[in-house]
Structure 1
Amino acid sequence: MSRATNRSLSAPNTALVAGLSLGAAMAGGMAFAPMSLAQTADTAAPVVVPEVSVTGARPANQLRAPTGNTRLPGSIQDTPQTINVVPQEVLREQNVTTLEQALRNVPGITSTIGEGNGGVTGDQFRIRGFSSQNDVLVDGLRDFGSYVRDAFTYEDVQVLKGASGFAIGTSAIGGGININSRMPSLENRYSAVATGGMGPFARFTADINQRISETIAMRLNVMGQSSSLVDRDDQDTRRWGVAPSITFGLGTPTTFSVEYLHYEDRHTVDSGMPIVYSGLGAIGRPASEHGVRRSNFYGIENDRDETTVDRLTARFAHSFGNGLTINNDTRLMRVDRDTALTAATCGTGATRTAYLASCSGQLFRGLNPTLAYGGGSNAPYNQVNEAIQNITTGTARFTTGPLRHELTAGIDIAHETVDRTASPYLPTRPTVNLLTPETNNALLLGTGAANNRRQTESTNLGLFLNERLWLTQQLSVFGGFRWTKFNLDYEAGTPGSAPSQNFNISDNFWDPRAGVIFEPAPNQTFYYSYSTSTTPPGTFFTTFPASAANFNSGFEPERNTNHEIGAKIGLFDNRLGLTAALFQAEKGNAFVQDPDDPTSVVQSGDRQRIRGVEVGVTGRITPEWNINAAYTYLDSKTTESSTAANVGRRLQYVPEHAASLWTTYDIARDTPYNVTLGAGITWRSQVFLNADNTAEVPANFSFDAMIQHRLNDKLTVRVNGYNLTDRTNYEALFSNRAVVSAGRTVLVSLAADF
């Protein structure tokens, strides 16, 4: 019986919302060429018309690429903050299918697991150790909701690191993720890729770009996939998606584009391998590190994640030709999720007697212990997110006397409702054993009447302003802020009864940024930047109800600051880019679990600090040799805590070391004997799973490789191998569980381009 449940959901009726947006239309014209100090506003450099052809438009050196975020005009080279890019070329060569797979190329990012009705599943990332649950953007707008995102529409993926309240909005503690979509261009191009292999795995994508007139083009991306994971029991996925788009005014000062996405994903939720302890006082590790089959699945037939996404985006941009551009992005979005998971855990005891009676103690006495169910994992739920966002941005480039300016200002308005309803299992779910969970895997239980409902309605109004001022041709300073007005209404309780919790929160706060930039040459940037972000109370009430259980009006917003010193340098005629950064990130007013009541959260004045180093290289060493690599060192620490034992401990989910490498070499390119060889690694060191550092997962290491041959000018065959050493790795983490990655996998793809 297939675990993927067929569920027909029609797209909701959506109204087209017109907007004015910079977005991709400014991609080619944001960078500000050096001017003479004597230059006046009347002789300012003309605004460059954006490139309209995607072929060859994206440089191998990703420092030269635009940011894709209208609040950060210019290229990545110009932006005084670390930005990692996973370009289209790497996405294609690695045959990336999800956002999580794309982000394996970015060190310093870890994934976490949801917690059923008590929490949230789907894409859950931490950037430099801090949660980025709400910080995924698509084309500079928030991608609302939490779900497993497919990569079939991606042009590239960018990760902005460091507190980013100005560029992203609320939260953005460790930074944010921005996905740039494939948009229409003035060329006719038709491509398709069919992939099959171990699992079994089957996937088909198509990308059709059609020129309609000299200034109008359409694009259509489609995807379908049916797959299972190698060496992982019952991990099945069925998904499909379609994304049409149209752009008017290509190659002119005024562009208008509309994109619609419909996406359905049905897959099995895996809550992870339980953590066990080899002895009293020992460090806990996943059971698979102690001889338990790594392929074990501890769920039941009900465990699923069924998601339907409908997203409509309208973007308008206009360049006035005198250094002034204005743009506006509008998004309507609905995410409907039906989810259930089994979080089976294996505890330990504080005394020898308690330990021997625990799951861990029984395992090491040769028994087959019964697992407990983690909090919040006993009820399936349905959650609907509906949201609208509009961002208007103006950018003005001008001079006053000998001084040159770049002024960016605008308004960001977002409104979101979240409605989550949970129901109990009937009958209740039976217990499961650590060594033989397959006895429960085929169970399919019924559900009773809804017994819990949580509703959130939030509105964010943001005003932002940033000024960059050139004191000389090489030296500039910048300063700006975002002011946010945050309103939230929250209700929780039993459907049909008066709410047991009813909160109304209203707050406003400032997120400043400032720094200095030195550019001795166009391909050299040295900078210092200071940035902040704010997470107001109530942000995660729906998905993290413990944060509401002890809420009171005295809670202060979490505050996060980032200091960074960095350099970005282009080499070999700008074919290759080098980056380096030293940074310190600090989080204050942290919300932590109440040590006396695990169902609630307190604000104890905890402070968390991360200091680190990051270096990277991107681009082509030679015309045949391409490389994208990065390394991150993170020194994390709890510097203040109400729990004295946690002071000085490393932060959970933060590896000290992480690195990624992907490199390819073209042999006999443009001849019938052409071959492209590719290889790469992803590695991170050991990670602690809790604040007191008593549980961990070991280091991850995956060696991947690719060989590609172009059969003719239309057909290319590619073979990808993943985790070729067949190592037991862990791709998502929680305090008492870790999800095991797939075993050695080989896939074969046939790509056609016309």
Structure 2
Amino acid sequence: MPAFTSLHARSRHALLAATAAALVGHGAAAQAQEAPANLGGATVTATSIDDKEAQTSYKVSRSTSATRTDTPLIDVPQTVNVVSVKQIEDQASNSIGDAIRYVPGIFSAQGEGNRETLVIRGNSTTGDFFVDGVRDDVQTYRDLYNIERLEVFKGSNAMIFGRGGVGGVINRVTKVANGDLIRSFRVEGGSFNHVRGQFDLGTPLGEVVSVRMTGVYQNSESYRDGVDYNRWGFNPTATFKLGADTTVTLGYEHFKDERVADRGVSTYLGKPLHTPRGQFFGDPDQSPTWTDTDAATLFVEHKFSDTVSIRNRTRYADYDKFYQNVFPTTVNTAPMTNPAGLPAGTYAAGTIVGIQGYNNFTNRKNFINQTDLNAQFATGAIEHTLLVGAEYGHQKTENLRQEAFFPTASNASGVTTIYATLLDPTISRPDIRWAQSASSPQNRGTAEVVAGYVQDQIALSPMFDVVVGVRYEHFTTKVTNLRNNQDFKVTDDLWSPRAGLIFKPVENASIYASYSRTYLPRGGDQLTGLSPTNQNLAPEKYQNYELGAKWDILPTFNVSAAVFQLDRTNVLADVDGDGIQEPVGRQRTKGVELAVAGSITKQVSMVGAYTYSDGTFLDDVSGTVKAGNILPNMPKHSASLWTRFDPIEQLGAAVGVIYQGKRYASTDNLVSMPGYTRVDAALYYNLSETVSAQLNVENVFNKRYFIYAHSNTNVTPGSPTAFKVGLNARF
């Protein structure tokens, strides 16, 4: 790790110095806000999105990310849900997990308490995260301080975003300098010593140059004993305009997240333990996790004419990630005599829990460059919006894992499992010895992608549109096992199509049918899953079939519905029970997603979701994962509704209701979390034209529930009633 750290420090300092010099020496120009040409419902420029809509409404009407052209969402043959910055602020959401609670078809998993893990249409992911359309896939927690909106794209998304994106992807659209004068501040305080502040400052520096800086600081404790969170970051951008047709944007972000990795409570006889909600299982003092992120971006756009433009986006990101956890395993189901870590004696079944630990250090460096050429033209009466693009990506990852060895009276070197009583499961073991076992990985890997893609949005008539596209990726993964110098190399040539037909009976409504396909190479979404046993196996394949409808009932209010089937094939399965896995397993998720977002009147705004999910394995995958088993962390029925009412301009109130049905903790379906209904609320008061206050209450009725799981032995209790008080100022 010292070599990793010193190398990282040098590269981080160089990156910071280079970016600062570029910002001071050159500035950068705002992305142009000129009215774009419109042809067949799409526009070529990437910069005509109205960010003010996201700042003032729960409804967002357009996106450049879904098709890489500025297209109304009603003309996109895919389920796209957008969480606006207005909704984020009203709900006092500070993380992606908070923000997606009112989005259909997407749920959170525990992620071992050190990373965001989302379950999208039944498929768990830690790597399908993007920022401004560029891959941002290290395992960590992300903040929302610097975004305009959070976009959720459902189904297989490889044609636009590349390999992976199996159930969907998450894209953060960031705030950039845009020529506006911005003075925005927010401070929060609340339960469990929650303290947070963030700011957004921007100004033009004449007609050509504008700059913007966003920042955040948070220091909070938790309802979980011994758990705390500390994070801070800043994101300057500078933009400049080189003539009437060329725009350049430079940006840099530093973000650090530190916390205690909390893996919740264990289970017994198929149910999570009913313990005090704050009871920590394991050793919180030996469970730190942190991530350092430094990222520099360059965006260039040039308009050749009103119908032809080119844009290029480059992002270099350097991530350091460390996590260490001392966590619970299984509860004893039979009496145990003289278990390690406890006084001698016999302990009855259901009275003690195993404790284990490990740590992992990862350094990842991503370089990704994307180029999009957009052109609009007509062939007779048929109008086209053509996208031709290319992407190059190079990702280098190093990782090292060590196991926890607990010294005992009879074994000074330590054992890998000790026990604690359920009455006192919080331990303190500063004497833990951290070392590699025979199977602990230490790898160096690179992933390189060269991709090209083409898409045509075809307006056949005022009532019918077609979207067709395909991406080709030449994806090479190389992994070196640093413990024995064994090398693995796999090259995948991936063809990922999409096709959609849109019928618009009226201008403000659409009905669509679509198909898309993506692949997940054997390295997995974190590029570390390659091994001698799977390196020659075909990648997993995902195919999404979808029928949907979208309707802007009002210019400010949208409803949408989708019926989908997502098929996963080439799942590794032990067919003959001989321990040899073959890519023959299948998994299927079928479902219905309903969503509403926007303002019904000037006084009433709402966002809501309903999801019916039926996700199962179609084949036996192992001795415990059988055909018919239900996918974990995915309720069959879920619903949420947030409604804000402003009776007068000065005063507002909101109520949120979240329901999730029973969920399984793992693929073997041996442990289930009961369903729950939680009620949240908020009050808003405008102290003046520029200053407002708000109160957010989570879990108003103090409901006991379990929010998510990582496995059968790691289940997280939900928070008791908690308060946040916020003060907002905009000048």
Residue in 2 that maps onto 1:85: 82
Question: Which secondary structure does the structure 1 equivalent of 2:98 belong to?
Answer: helix
Residue in 2 that maps onto 1:648: 628
How far apart are 1:402 and its partner, in Å?
Answer: 1.7
Once the two structures are superposed, the pairs formed by residues 541-690 of structure 1 within 5 Å of their partners are 543-544=528-529, 548=531, 550-553=533-536, 555-572=537-554, 574-591=555-572, 602-643=581-622, 646-669=626-649, 674-690=650-666
CA distance in 2, matches of 1:58, 1:257: 21
How far apart are 1:606 and its partner, in Å?
Answer: 1.1
The alignment status of 1:94 with 2:91, answered yes or no, reads yes
How far apart are 1:172 and its partner, in Å?
Answer: 0.8
Question: Which secondary structure does the structure 1 equivalent of 2:700 belong to?
Answer: coil
Residue in 1 that maps onto 2:267: 275
How far apart are 1:493 and its partner, in Å?
Answer: 4.4
| 1:431 pairs with one of 418, 437, 442 | 418
Q: Which moved more, 1:194-203 or 1:249-258?
A: 249-258
Question: Which secondary structure does the structure 2 equivalent of 1:423 belong to?
Answer: strand
CA distance in 2, matches of 1:250, 1:527: 40
Question: Which secondary structure does the structure 1 equivalent of 2:306 belong to?
Answer: coil
Residue in 1 that maps onto 2:479: 490
CA contact (8 A) 2:401 2:441 kept: yes
CA distance in 2, matches of 1:734, 1:633: 22
Residue in 1 that maps onto 2:503: 518
How far apart are 1:71 and its partner, in Å?
Answer: 2.8
| 2:379 pairs with one of 375, 379, 400 | 400
Letter of the structure 2 residue corresponding to residue 379 of structure 1: Y
The alignment status of 1:386 with 2:345, answered yes or no, reads no
Identify if the C-alpha distance between structure 1 residues 49 and 561 changes in structure 2 by more than 3 Å, giving closer, same or farther: closer
The alignment status of 1:369 with 2:352, answered yes or no, reads yes
| 2:697 pairs with one of 715, 718, 721 | 721
Identify if the C-alpha distance between structure 1 residues 27 and 506 changes in structure 2 by more than 3 Å, giving closer, same or farther: farther
Question: Which secondary structure does the structure 2 equivalent of 1:62 belong to?
Answer: coil
How far apart are 1:531 and its partner, in Å?
Answer: 0.5
Question: Which secondary structure does the structure 1 equivalent of 2:104 belong to?
Answer: coil
How far apart are 1:144 and its partner, in Å?
Answer: 3.1
CA distance in 2, matches of 1:604, 1:27: 49
CA contact (8 A) 1:28 1:49 kept: no
| 2:427 pairs with one of 440, 463, 473 | 440
The alignment status of 1:71 with 2:68, answered yes or no, reads yes
Q: What per-residue deviation string (whole Å, max 9, x for no partner) do you get for residues 34-60 of structure 1? A: 59xxxxxxxxx9977955985457673
CA distance in 1, matches of 2:30, 2:346: 56
The alignment status of 1:164 with 2:151, answered yes or no, reads no
Q: What per-residue deviation string (whole Å, max 9, x for no partner) do you get for residues 109-137 of structure 1? A: 22234469xxxx41111211112322101
Identify if the C-alpha distance between structure 1 residues 297 and 33 changes in structure 2 by more than 3 Å, giving closer, same or farther: same
Identify if the C-alpha distance between structure 1 residues 29 and 339 changes in structure 2 by more than 3 Å, giving closer, same or farther: farther
CA distance in 1, matches of 2:111, 2:613: 24
How far apart are 1:381 and its partner, in Å?
Answer: 2.3
Identify if the C-alpha distance between structure 1 residues 313 and 482 changes in structure 2 by more than 3 Å, giving closer, same or farther: same
The alignment status of 1:703 with 2:679, answered yes or no, reads yes
CA distance in 1, matches of 2:519, 2:302: 32
Once the two structures are superposed, the pairs formed by residues 120-131 of structure 1 within 5 Å of their partners are 121-131=114-124
CA distance in 1, matches of 2:575, 2:208: 59
How far apart are 1:420 and its partner, in Å?
Answer: 0.7
| 1:694 pairs with one of 622, 647, 670 | 670
Q: Which moved more, 1:535-544 or 1:609-618?
A: 535-544
How far apart are 1:647 and its partner, in Å?
Answer: 1.2
Question: Which secondary structure does the structure 2 equivalent of 1:81 belong to?
Answer: coil
CA contact (8 A) 2:58 2:87 kept: no
| 2:445 pairs with one of 456, 474, 495 | 456
CA distance in 1, matches of 2:459, 2:427: 66
Q: Which moved more, 1:512-521 or 1:54-63?
A: 54-63
The alignment status of 1:322 with 2:311, answered yes or no, reads no
How far apart are 1:275 and its partner, in Å?
Answer: 2.0
TM-score by length of 2: 0.88
CA contact (8 A) 2:43 2:71 kept: no
The alignment status of 1:422 with 2:390, answered yes or no, reads no
TM-score by length of 1: 0.86
How big is the alpha-carbon RMSD for the aligned residues of Structure 1 and Structure 2? 3.3
How far apart are 1:654 and its partner, in Å?
Answer: 2.0
CA distance in 2, matches of 1:521, 1:444: 70
| 2:514 pairs with one of 523, 529, 550 | 529
Identify if the C-alpha distance between structure 1 residues 46 and 180 changes in structure 2 by more than 3 Å, giving closer, same or farther: closer
CA distance in 2, matches of 1:464, 1:251: 30
Q: Which moved more, 1:298-307 or 1:235-244?
A: 298-307
Residue in 2 that maps onto 1:286: 272
Aligned sequence identity (%): 26
CA contact (8 A) 1:29 1:49 kept: no
CA contact (8 A) 2:203 2:211 kept: yes
Q: What per-residue deviation string (whole Å, max 9, x for no partner) do you get for residues 475-514 of structure 1? A: 12221111111101112243xxx32x42111110101111
CA contact (8 A) 2:44 2:385 kept: no
Letter of the structure 2 residue corresponding to residue 285 of structure 1: K
Q: What per-residue deviation string (whole Å, max 9, x for no partner) do you get for residues 171-221 of structure 1? A: 111010011111122221211111111101111111111111224211111
Residue in 2 that maps onto 1:297: 281
Structure in which a larger fraction of residues adopt strand: 2
The alignment status of 1:246 with 2:238, answered yes or no, reads yes
Residue in 2 that maps onto 1:234: 226
How far apart are 1:253 and its partner, in Å?
Answer: 3.4
CA distance in 2, matches of 1:689, 1:49: 42
The alignment status of 1:751 with 2:728, answered yes or no, reads yes
CA contact (8 A) 2:262 2:280 kept: no
Letter of the structure 2 residue corresponding to residue 324 of structure 1: V
Identify if the C-alpha distance between structure 1 residues 59 and 510 changes in structure 2 by more than 3 Å, giving closer, same or farther: farther
Residue in 1 that maps onto 2:26: none
How far apart are 1:571 and its partner, in Å?
Answer: 1.6
Identify if the C-alpha distance between structure 1 residues 481 and 221 changes in structure 2 by more than 3 Å, giving closer, same or farther: same
Identify if the C-alpha distance between structure 1 residues 131 and 424 changes in structure 2 by more than 3 Å, giving closer, same or farther: closer
CA contact (8 A) 1:51 1:251 kept: no
Question: Which secondary structure does the structure 1 equivalent of 2:693 belong to?
Answer: strand
Identify if the C-alpha distance between structure 1 residues 76 and 67 changes in structure 2 by more than 3 Å, giving closer, same or farther: farther
CA contact (8 A) 1:604 1:642 kept: no
CA distance in 2, matches of 1:65, 1:363: 65
How far apart are 1:33 and its partner, in Å?
Answer: 4.8
Residue in 2 that maps onto 1:4: none
Question: Which secondary structure does the structure 1 equivalent of 2:159 belong to?
Answer: helix
Letter of the structure 2 residue corresponding to residue 84 of structure 1: N
CA distance in 1, matches of 2:257, 2:544: 36
Letter of the structure 2 residue corresponding to residue 682 of structure 1: I
How far apart are 1:443 and its partner, in Å?
Answer: 3.7
Identify if the C-alpha distance between structure 1 residues 139 and 364 changes in structure 2 by more than 3 Å, giving closer, same or farther: farther
Residue in 2 that maps onto 1:12: 13
CA distance in 1, matches of 2:463, 2:671: 50
CA distance in 1, matches of 2:490, 2:395: 15
How far apart are 1:157 and its partner, in Å?
Answer: 0.6
Q: Which moved more, 1:67-76 or 1:634-643?
A: 67-76
Q: Which moved more, 1:264-273 or 1:293-302?
A: 293-302
Identify if the C-alpha distance between structure 1 residues 390 and 677 changes in structure 2 by more than 3 Å, giving closer, same or farther: same
Residue in 1 that maps onto 2:389: 410
CA distance in 2, matches of 1:93, 1:700: 23
Identify if the C-alpha distance between structure 1 residues 705 and 150 changes in structure 2 by more than 3 Å, giving closer, same or farther: same
Letter of the structure 2 residue corresponding to residue 330 of structure 1: T
Identify if the C-alpha distance between structure 1 residues 751 and 348 changes in structure 2 by more than 3 Å, giving closer, same or farther: same
Residue in 2 that maps onto 1:742: 719
Question: Which secondary structure does the structure 1 equivalent of 2:87 belong to?
Answer: helix
Q: Which moved more, 1:385-394 or 1:653-662?
A: 653-662
Question: Which secondary structure does the structure 2 equivalent of 1:713 belong to?
Answer: coil
